[in-house]
Structure 1
Amino acid sequence: MAGSGSGLLDQVPDSNELRVQSSLDIQGHLVLSNLAEVVERVLSFLPVKSLLRAACVCRLWRDCARRKLKARQRITWMSCSQFFDQALPVAHSLVKVVKDHLEELYVLPETLFYVTDYHTINWHSGLKRARKKTGLDVSSALEAYLPDECQILGLATPGVVVTPMGSLTSCPLEVEHGEAGFALVFPKMNGVKIEKFQFSKDPKSRMFDESQLHEAGLKNNPDLRVVLIFAYNTWRQGDTRFVQQVVNTLNEKSIIIAGGQVEHLATYGPQMKSPGASYIGVVGLTFSGPQIQAASVVLDDDVENKKSADSVIQRLKAANIPEDNSVGFMFACVARGVQYYGENNVEANLFRKHFPNVPLFGFFGNGEIGCDRVVSGKFTLRECNCEKDDLLHGYTTVITIIHFGK
């Protein structure tokens, strides 16, 4: 026992060494308590959840953390893609991806836009009639991991276009069959305002109430640059008139409009929670801000091969939209893709060819919304014709690029 005690005593530093360590601790404490530059440098390595915890240490750390959060204005994303497997998890893979990666997220989510394939949601639910409940489960699971003030828009579609996580230069994938999804995270950005809107068709009226557009900031908004708009249940009900009424009132020369008709919503408002109800409506996101630049093109049914598709995307490239801090969107008809071109990933590959540093997201749907338009740095518009464009399409692909400023 004596030898054992002697060994423990040998590990205890002497008083001089303790004084040196104490002095170093005090110096380090003083540096991290008084020098904002050092604190900000340390905090810059922390993901957002750890940064918010660090903000509780003291006033200096709180102020430094706030400055770091404001400086983090890069759009980020989480995504998943895989072929159908008999061993599918209980929940959609996107839920697990979001849960795992939110801890590593470096931006504070203000808006989350996600898309999942509806085939897998039906598979998970077991019964097709249970898809709404499963969609609500996915939405509830995602909401549980996000800040309360984060606005969420979720869609379920026949196919998904995703850019794998990890790098801007990752090749986007057109996943027409299989489990896939993405969650696009928009932080608070200087000079950019993102708002969610939703309009449901009034079964008692044949006309759309345009006053709803004013309330949602879609009319008389000089800073409005881009509207992503999605119709649900309209294709299934054979009722596109409501969509036509909404988009026609939005068809202004200073606005990029892009989107499509989806299988159903994955997020539901309070008025849509009665079982078995079949609602018709539109939902979407508005992007407002003088620094936003955007362009869109339509690959119509005359575009039948890679060469003609490439020429259309070259026209998008010629718009000279800055590629830094930009995002691409692709909304394609379910009849396009591999069965249209005879090979996989044609349009996504062509987008990457011309925009190698811009991530691409989107879906295969049941109808497309958009037109050829360019909102340039001076916010002028170049159209393919002088009249208002027809915004509703079939058997086409709408590709849009949005730049959010430096």
Structure 2
Amino acid sequence: MAYFPHSQVIKYEEACGEDGDVCSSEKSTIDSDIIGTNAAQRTEQHAPDGCCSNSNQATEESASNTQKSDTNSLLGSYITKEYELLNLVLSHLPLGDLNAASQVCRTWCSAAVSVRRGRTHPHWLLWCGDQRQKISEQSCRIKSVKFAEAEFPYLAFREHVYSEPSLALMFASHTVFGARVMCTYKCSCPAVTAGQNNEEDGHQHRVWEYVRAELQPTCPLICLRGYGIVGTLPDLTVTVELENSRAYSVLLLPDMPGVTVRTFQLDTNQVNKLQKSNLQSLNVEVMEQLTGIPTGESVQCLLLFCREALLLVPAIIHLVSSLQNRQEETMAVAGGIINDVGGLNDGVPIMVGVTFSGEGVCVASTILGRGVATEMEVDKAMQELKAHTVSSYSSSVGLMFACVGRGRHHYQGKRNVESAAFRKHFPKTPLLGYFGNGEIGFKLLPDVTDKKKLLDGPTRGNKRKRTGTPVILHSYTTIMVHLAFTGSKASSHTHR
């Protein structure tokens, strides 16, 4: 993984030394970057041309560097001996720095593993290349420095991602999805990261490939192409609807207690099987074979994204109905029509699904219909959604799937009406999504019991099983989903 630049290199032997011994063939120093220097120092890799100094300056700098090295060595030795202090220091590091710190010695590796296992909160990223939006500098958190599009995933992961992602859901505008950008540094090049090229610069890749380079090989990436995107800055200060802008947002979900996340994708042959079958023939064995969801596993939420939707309405209805018929509890359904999908290893499927199961997840969803056209009406809908969610869950995310005909065009030129209403009622919940050509889903507002202190966690919603198949494909609507996560049981992630 391309976690750290060339300026931060820690030499280590093939086998680590004893506890507390730095893994190095020489007397190495622990870069101050490991214990949290600022972003500008971390990303400085190349000195400007023409920068040189005289011999006296070089001598002074050498002496200063030696003194700093001695200080850092003493500090590193002290921290290593004090295990509780070491855990405290490492607990403040982003994932990239934490992974680098784990290679210092056995003690640091053990502490880093412990810290990493305790991180189960989702993360999210936002990038915008539109000068009118003024989001880029805030996202990078580095002033007066301009980075290429290809560099942002690399910087964002180093600064804002703390948990190891097990699923990356990316929303990219059509101008970003199809564009290819030039690599600036080898450390962020997807070809170099994948071991395909170690020498040449100047590779061009799609933006989602740079995000892919920052993930573990076992972490699936689903990049959905829309006309615009919805995103939230990592510090929750800004939530925006970026219509027809050069932008993308990424939701990063780690393994979470009590939550099972599964992904599946269906090709043309599998979709045709759904299309031509009836509900009676789509028994539990067939559905398990198609989706990989074990029989008996109750799905709390299904995110479904399809291409060529007008031709696939029967297939969508058959898939949702068959999954629902396997369980007693009503599942939430949300998603929409996508122009294209990237990031998957098995080509470009017709359908892509993400399911959330387990006692550690509670979900509510609502639909803003064509008649909802004022700020007051949107606010009322968000109040209703808020009333049917739980506030005592440890973390939550919001998803917004809107028709391209809504946004500012639907609200007399005013931007961010729907995202602002969501943020008003869910100020600590990030909102991500996209604008597309159609929406999939239905309204599901469960009755919830929100108790602050329960030994086994908050009570989940009591959702009765639906009778009949509701209208599932919509136009000129916005589907809002609130996913809350908590629990104490073991979590898992599988990719089909």
- Tell whether the structures are fold-level matches, with TM greater than 0.5: yes
Give the superposition deviation at 1:217.
4.4
Deviations 1:129-179 (A, max 9, x none): xxxxxx98333332222211211111111111111x2422x2321111111
Partner of 2:252: 185
For 2:171, which of 94, 97, 115 is the aligned residue?
115
Partner-residue secondary structure (3-state), 2:120: coil
Q: 1:373 and 1:51, CA in 2 relative to 1: closer, same or farther beyond 3 A?
A: same
Shift of 1:25: 9.4
| Separation in 1, partners of 2:74, 2:129 | 52
2:358 to 284, 289, 299: 289
1:212 deviates by: 5.4
Query: Superposition pairs for residues 142-153 of structure 1, below 5 Å?
Result: 142-153=211-222
Q: Is the 8 A contact 2:423 2:429 kept in 1?
A: yes
Q: Verify the 8 A CA contact 1:160 1:362 in the aligned structure 2.
A: yes
Deviations 1:205-263 (A, max 9, x none): 4436664531434463445322211112334xx44332222222234643221111111
2:258 equivalent to 1:194: no
Instruction: Report matched runs for 1:348-363 at 5 Å.
Output: 348-363=419-434
- How much does 1:192 deviate? 2.0
CA distance in 1, matches of 2:73, 2:123: 39
Task: Give percent identity, aligned residues only.
Answer: 27
2:80 and 2:176 map into 1 onto residues whose CA distance is: 51
2: CA distance, partners of 1:153 / 1:317: 28
Match of 1:156 in 2: 225
Q: What SS does the corresponding residue of 1:314 show, helix, strand or coil?
A: helix
SS at 1:51 equivalent = helix
Q: Which residue of 1 aligns with 2:235?
A: 167
- Given that 1:258 and 1:369 are in contact with CA atoms closer than 8 Å, whether structure 2 keeps it comes out as yes
Q: Determine the structure 2 residue equivalent to 1:246.
A: 319
Q: CA deviation at 1:94?
A: 6.0
Look up the equivalent residue of 2:405 and give its one-letter code. A
**CA–CA distance in structure 1, aligned partners of residues 264 and 299 of structure 2:** 14
CA distance in 1, matches of 2:380, 2:148: 36
Cα offset for 1:289?
2.2
- Superposition deviation, residue 99 in structure 1: 1.7
Give distance in 2, aligned partners of 1:341 and 1:153.
30
Matched AA of 1:400: V
Which TM-score applies when normalising by structure 2?
Answer: 0.65
Would you say the 8 A contact 2:127–2:247 is kept in 1? yes
Per the alignment, residue 263 of structure 1 pairs with 339
TM-score (norm 1): 0.79
The CA deviation at 1:30 is 6.2
Q: What's the counterpart of residue 101 of structure 1?
A: 156
Q: In structure 2, what is the equivalent of residue 404 of structure 1?
A: 485
How far is the alpha carbon of 1:29 from its aligned partner?
A: 6.5
Give the CA RMSD over aligned residues.
Answer: 3.3
**Shift, 1:271, TM fit:** 4.7
AA in 1 matched with 2:229:
V
Aligned to 2:417: 346
In the alignment, the residues of structure 1 paired with residue 72 and residue 406 of structure 2 have an alpha-carbon distance, to the nearest angstrom, of 65
- Show structure 2 runs of 5+ residues with no match: 1-58, 133-146, 182-203, 449-457, 488-496
1:332 aligns with 2:402: yes
Offset, 1:40 = 0.6
Change (3 A) 1:119 1:405: same
Q: Distance in 2 between matches of 1:166 and 1:380?
A: 29
1:226 lines up with 2:281 in the alignment:
no
Tell me the residue number matched to 2:276.
Answer: 207
Contact 2:330 2:464 in 1 (8 A): no
Task: Tell me how far apart the structure 2 counterparts of residues 389 and 95 of structure 1 sit (CA, whole Å).
Answer: 43
Does the 8 Å contact 2:401/2:436 carry over to 1?
A: yes
